[in-house]
Amino acid sequence: MKSNKRMISIVGGILLVAILVVLDQFTKHLAVIHLKGQPNIIWIKGVMELEYLENRGAAFGILQNQQWLFILLFFLFVGAACMFYCKVSMDRRFLPLRMIALFVVAGGLGNLLDRVRLGYVVDFFYFSLINFPVFNVADIYVTVSMVLLIFLFLCYYKEEDMDFIFPDLNKNKKAGE
C-alpha cells in the first residue's frame, strides 16, 4: 500500500512538472512572438513591464555564456530535488516540501530547455519599481519555492519533524550511536 501511494505520488509529480514546464515554455513562446524586437509593454506604470531579453548568464547576468556550468548545476540541483522528493515522508504534513521540490525541478527544466535549444534563456518580466533583473515563469517557480522553503523551516517544521523529512539520515545517525 505504501509503495503504491509513493508510485502515485511520483507519477503525479511527473505530470505536475510537465504541466509547469509547458506553461513556462508557452509564456516564453508568447514573449518571443509579441515582445522580441518591440518596445516594452507597460503593465503597471512604474512597477511592472514586459521586456524581451535573451539571458546568456545566470541571475543578474552573471556568468555570461557559461552554458556547460548551468547544465551541470541543473543536474546537481534537480537530482538532489528528485532524490529528496522520493525520500521525504509521504505524510500530508510534508506535502509542501514535496511540492517545492517539484516546482524547483520544473523551473530548472524550463530554463534548461531554453539553454540547450536556444543557447540562452528567454526572460520577459521586468519589475521596474526596484529595477529588478528581467525574469521568467521558471525563475518564479524556483524563487518562490526557495522563499517558501526558508519560511517552512523557520516557522512551520520543528526539530522532531526532521526524522520524517530525512529518515535515512537519522537512521544512519542512530546506527552510529
Reduced to 3 states (helix: H, G, I; strand: E, B; else coil), residue 49 is strand
Q: Which tens digit of pLDDT belongs to each residue from 132-164?
A: 889 999 999 999 999 999 999 888 888 777 776
Reduced to 3 states (helix: H, G, I; strand: E, B; else coil), residue 126 is strand
- What is the set of active-site residues? 123, 139
Question: For position 142, what pLDDT does the model report?
Answer: 93
Please state, in angstroms and rounded to a whole number, the distance separating the CA atoms of residues 71 and 110: 12
Using 50, 70 and 90 to split pLDDT, how confident is the model at 169?
A: low
Nearest to 141, CA basis, from 78, 55, 61: 78
Please state, in angstroms and rounded to a whole number, the distance separating the CA atoms of residues 42 and 136: 16
Q: Which tens digit of pLDDT belongs to each residue from 88-97?
A: 878 888 899 9
Lowest mean pLDDT across 44-48, 103-107, 157-161: 157-161
Asked if 134 and 126 touch (Cβ cutoff 8 Å), the reply is yes
Asked if 126 and 48 touch (Cβ cutoff 8 Å), the reply is yes
Reduced to 3 states (helix: H, G, I; strand: E, B; else coil), residue 166 is coil
At CA 120, angle to CA 52 and CA 124, rounded to 5? 20
Range of the domain at 101: 2-175
The larger pLDDT score, comparing residue 66 to residue 35, is at 35
Nearest to 134, CA basis, from 11, 14, 35, 34: 35
Question: For position 75, what pLDDT does the model report?
Answer: 85
Total domains present in the chain:
1
Question: For position 163, what pLDDT does the model report?
Answer: 73
Nearest to 120, CA basis, from 41, 67, 43: 67
Lowest mean pLDDT across 42-46, 102-106, 155-159, 171-175: 171-175
Is pLDDT above 80 for 11?
A: yes
Is pLDDT above 80 for 25?
A: yes
pLDDT over 70, % of the chain: 86
Q: Could you give the maximum distance between any two Cα atoms of the chain, in Å?
A: 65
